[in-house]
Amino acid sequence: MSIGILLVTGGRTHQEGYGAAFQADPRARLIAVSDEPGVDERRAALNQRLADELRIPYIRDLGEALRRDGIQAASICTEHHRQGRLSIRCAEAGKHLYVDKPLAGSLDEARRLERIVREKKLLTQMFTQVTAAPARKARRLLERGQVGDLRAIHHDLLFAKGFSAGLPLVPRKETAAPAPDQFLVPEAKREMFNIAVYSLALFRWITGRKAFRSVAAHTANYFFDTNKKHGMEDFGAMLVGLDGGITATVAAGRTGWRSHPGSGHHRIRLFGSRGSAIVDAFAGHAEITSDQQSNWRVPPKNPDDPMGFWSSSDQRKTGGPEWWLPAPPAKSDQSHFLDCLEKNREPEVTVPDGVRILEVLFAAYRSAAEKRTVALG
């Protein structure tokens, strides 16, 4: 069996990783990179670049690409403000969807997408970290009853990338309510939006899709002048209520190269009726001590990707004998999606899950703006 995959949007997005993972799986066959015909020259060049790297054609008109034979699924990884409408186009064409996170830049588009995929009975998966080792381990701890009945879950996900500037400390005035109008520029992203989505997906997945009931959030500009200039938070904290009286908290952000010698602080803490447990994504960390011990160094600034957003810019810390190793996933998130297509099984985080998560993210901006807990559902 060969599953034809259309990549919607190319380089300098996470499609770099998604496309490579699909190509590495013998069950998948990449058909082309495509996009909207009117994209700007930079985007078109980046689309062409990924197509060249993967040795597949770049079809400039998404409509034309979707009419091609042999496409069963689309992997959609565009800028957030286009993600909803392009996913809708692919869903309307009857393609199963592998979509980047967060699902869309608009709740109306996300809910419309949910209706279409339900009507057409499409299999959908949103990229998250639930297929990665820390999440799997946390769920096994719960399933074994190690902490008893879950009462609280806490998630720190702090990406140690970007050059922090030592900004003057002032409270951020959140203006992204009811919804942000801008999500991404080459040198800045909305980091709560982009990172807390992983935490919310983890909570929904690990609790068996318990509904979100409330959110209180705080957003901040602690680290990057570029984020501040564009009005985009680089950090967010959340206090979330779920059905069953479960409480969850999130610390999510991009915190600068110096904040951690590896990828960043990443911990899951579970608290239940029998006790607590911690999953540290870097618990498998290795360390060398010697008389050659030196301090690690941040990579030189790359003007093309100053925040280290994309894997193709290959920015790494160097200079020290210490190293920190994230546990390798048993299989990629993309392979999980192919499993589901092959077995006609519902993926673990779907478009409807993505809509519920997006509702929390937008409510979180409202909470940060109005300084109060916002009820959900």
Which CB atom, from 212 or from 222, has the smaller least distance to another protein? Answer: 222
Tell me how far, at minimum, the Cβ of 296 lies from another protein, in Å. Answer: 12
| Cα–Cα distance, 302 to 291 (Å, whole number) | 32
Which CB atom, from 199 or from 335, has the smaller least distance to another protein? Answer: 199
Q: Does 271 bind another protein (CB under 8 A)?
A: yes
Q: Does 213 bind another protein (CB under 8 A)?
A: no
Q: Does 167 bind another protein (CB under 8 A)?
A: yes
Q: Does 295 bind another protein (CB under 8 A)?
A: no
- CA distances in angstroms from 101 to 78, 104, 196, 226, 228, listed in the order given: 10, 8, 10, 22, 23
Q: Which stretch binds another protein (CB under 8 A): 231-239, 316-324, 336-344, 358-366?
A: 231-239
Beta strands in the chain (DSSP E): 3-8, 28-34, 58-59, 73-76, 96-99, 124-126, 150-159, 184-185, 188-189, 212-220, 235-242, 246-254, 266-272, 275-280, 374-375
Which CB atom, from 172 or from 356, has the smaller least distance to another protein? Answer: 172
156, 278, 262, 331: CA torsion to nearest 10: -100
SS (H, E, C) 285-303: CECCCCCCCCCCECCCCCC
Contacts of 251 (CB under 8 A, 6+ apart): 155, 156, 157, 158, 235, 236, 237
Q: Does 89 bind another protein (CB under 8 A)?
A: no
Q: Does 255 bind another protein (CB under 8 A)?
A: yes
Q: Which of 94, 245, 319, 328 binds another protein (CB under 8 A)?
A: 245
Interface characters, 171-200, with another protein (x: CB under 8 A): xx----------------------------
Q: Does 166 bind another protein (CB under 8 A)?
A: yes
Q: What is the largest CA-CA distance in the chain?
A: 65
Q: Does 237 bind another protein (CB under 8 A)?
A: yes
275-280/266-272 β-pairing: antiparallel
Place of tokens 């499993």: 339
212-220/246-254 β-pairing: unpaired
Residue 174 has a CB neighbour count (10 Å cut-off) of 23
Interface characters, 43-82, with another protein (x: CB under 8 A): ----------------------------------------
Q: Does 233 bind another protein (CB under 8 A)?
A: no
Q: Which of 137, 258, 285, 366 binds another protein (CB under 8 A)?
A: 258
Binding site for another protein (CB under 8 A): 151-152, 154, 156, 158, 164-167, 169-172, 216, 218, 220-223, 235, 237-239, 241, 245, 247, 249, 251, 255-256, 258-260, 265, 269, 271, 273-276, 278, 371, 373
